[in-house]
Amino acid sequence: MKRRVYFLTAVVCLISLTAISFCGFYVAKADTKLFNKSSQVILVRDGDKTTITMSNDFSGDVKDFAMVVPVPVVLERDDIRISEASLFNKLDAYSGPRLVEYFDRNPCAQEMFYEMSLDRTMTLSEVASTSVQGEKRDKDLGVTIEAKYEVEEYDILILSAKKSNGLKTWLVENGYKIPSQAEEVLEPYIKNNMKFFVVKVDVEKLEKLSGVGNVKKYIDDPEMNKARSLRPLQISFNSNKFMLPIRLGMANATGDQDMIVYAFSKKGRIECTNYRTTEIPTNKNVPLFVRNKFGKFYVDLFDKAHMKENKSAIFLEYAWNVSPRNPGVKCDPCVGPPPIFTDLQKAGVDWAITSDNQASNEVYFTRLHVRYSRETHPQDLTFHETPNKQNFQARYILTNPAGGDLSCDDGQRYLAGLIKKRATELDNLNDLTSWNTSQYKGYVQEYYDKLKDKRLLNDIEDDKGEIIPGFPSDFEDPNKWIKIGILSGMALLMLFMFIRYRAILPRFSRKFA
């Protein structure tokens, strides 16, 4: 089945700073592959200059893929470059939501120390195509070819148009497989005097670059997958418009689409101005069994957060000053290695190295997650730079309990606190994902059974520092037998009164007869 993604872009974003010390083990990450119909874009904003690097998922014959991107100006040849899929892999791995684990020390034993460990993984992405002809017909349809370029395996046109129906007709006649609803979506861009960056793949050049004789056969062969990764395209332009045109990309969509935006700026975070930007829920302790379900956990967490925000918010998943000059780590924990000078330069961060060959200390990186549809996001996204430099990351915490003998007084107090902590972890899991946690009561009960003096539970403080009397209520009660005795006594008393009532009732009946 052929899948065509019509992807448009023109945005920007930012970041925050300050160093935090690493103190946990990286366990797992939530990357873009968890979400269906997802795409990725790198955006760099410096004053009025925007650099956009586009990577799209595509499968099928390269001849069937069309990329049409609204841009505010006519691009020059030097404004168009080829990028690398590995850049997206690295940014995704580094900024993705992560699961981290900590280890409690045994309060009855000598303190233990743990070393930091990193796991480094990557992801993958692709891009695509289209075709051209006929000057007289172009004029009749109100379409002008403003510029024409060959950039390695890509043939690129910059178009302007007077009428949306004329542009749609021109695209169809020239071999572009565009959405049936494209005309109504193209109209606002034409009225705003936007240009159109149109791309197709030159199959012969792609064959030479791929080193294979038949690209289509190569693509269709599951054992020969490399040619499916078309290289990302990067464009730069100057404009005071700070926006991401997403409407054309939704014209033929059958449901929600996810987009991950990796954005760089000098000043701080970038936020959306016409849709609310909000932080994804983070820094929550979750049960240990989430370790083997982290992908589903984060998908369900995002789904719930998306619904809670009426499906319209833009979610922040990471923000940090990632300048190589910035001391200290830039995540806690780090999922992969940080972007280095060459990565930043490939992304279009021209100021990463200053004119006197010094490292800049102002490279702010923001990761935004947008889920959109025609119903929830009828307008293109517009953004602004903020002075917010606060660090942020989507981060979820596992705590491994202490092992060994816990019979000492400190160990017993630790167990009482662990029972409360584990109950809180289940509450957090339900709150974040709406998972039914009633089936996991044994997760708390196993440590309740190890606690010798249940009265210690009466002195546990909650997260607000308040005493929790008789904790926990949902699990075995330390006063269970006292309560059972009282209830049993009350039941016997009621039974006795019932029997007595039955015995004396006939007497009253005869007396008043």
Question: What is the DSSP annotation of 274-320?
Answer: SS-EEEPP-SEE--GGGGGGHHHHHHHHHHHHHHHTTT--EEEEEEE
What would the mean pLDDT of 86-108 be, rounded to a whole number? 90
Most confident of 126-135, 327-336, 423-432: 423-432
The total number of residues shown for the chain amounts to: 513
Tokens standing for residue 283: 């820094």
pLDDT tens digits, 272-326: 988 999 999 999 999 999 999 999 999 999 999 999 999 999 999 999 998 877 7
Q: Residue 377 pairs with which residues in a beta bridge?
A: none
Question: Which of 5-19, 244-258, 423-437 has the least mean pLDDT?
Answer: 5-19
Q: Is 54 in a helix, a strand, or coil?
A: strand
pLDDT band, residue 68 (cuts 50/70/90): confident
Report the C-alpha gap between 221 and 216 in whole angstroms: 9
Report the C-alpha gap between 26 and 397 in whole angstroms: 10
The whole-number pLDDT of residue 452 equals 81
pTM for this predicted structure: 0.75
- Percentage of the chain beyond pLDDT 90 is 28
pLDDT over 50 (residue 1) = no
pLDDT over 80 (residue 45) = yes
What would the mean pLDDT of 72-93 be, rounded to a whole number? 91
Report the C-alpha gap between 444 and 442 in whole angstroms: 5
**What's the 3-state SS for 71-130?**
ECCCCCHHHEEECCHHHHHHHHHHHCCEEEEEECCCCCCCCCCCCCCCCCCCCCCCCCCC
Report the C-alpha gap between 252 and 248 in whole angstroms: 8
- Kindly list the distances between the CA atom of residue 504 and the CA atoms of 378, 468, 498, in Å, as whole numbers in the listed order: 78, 48, 10
| Terminal C-alpha separation, the chain | 90
Q: Residue 51 pairs with which residues in a beta bridge?
A: 44, 236
What would the mean pLDDT of 360-375 be, rounded to a whole number? 89
The whole-number pLDDT of residue 459 equals 60
Question: From the CA atom positions of the chain, what is the Rg in Å?
Answer: 31
- Percentage of the chain beyond pLDDT 70 is 72
CB burial of 415-450 (b: ≥16 within 10 Å; e: otherwise) equals bbbbbbbbbbbbebbeebbebebeebbebbbebbee
Q: Residue 219 pairs with which residues in a beta bridge?
A: none
- Kindly list the distances between the CA atom of residue 445 and the CA atoms of 203, 287, 423, in Å, as whole numbers in the listed order: 63, 13, 9
Cα–Cα nearest to 327, from 117, 17, 116: 17
Report the C-alpha gap between 236 and 234 in whole angstroms: 7
Cα–Cα nearest to 219, from 1, 61, 58, 5: 61
pLDDT over 60 (residue 97) = yes
The whole-number pLDDT of residue 509 equals 57
Write out the H or E segment, with its range, that includes residue 344.
Answer: helix 341-347
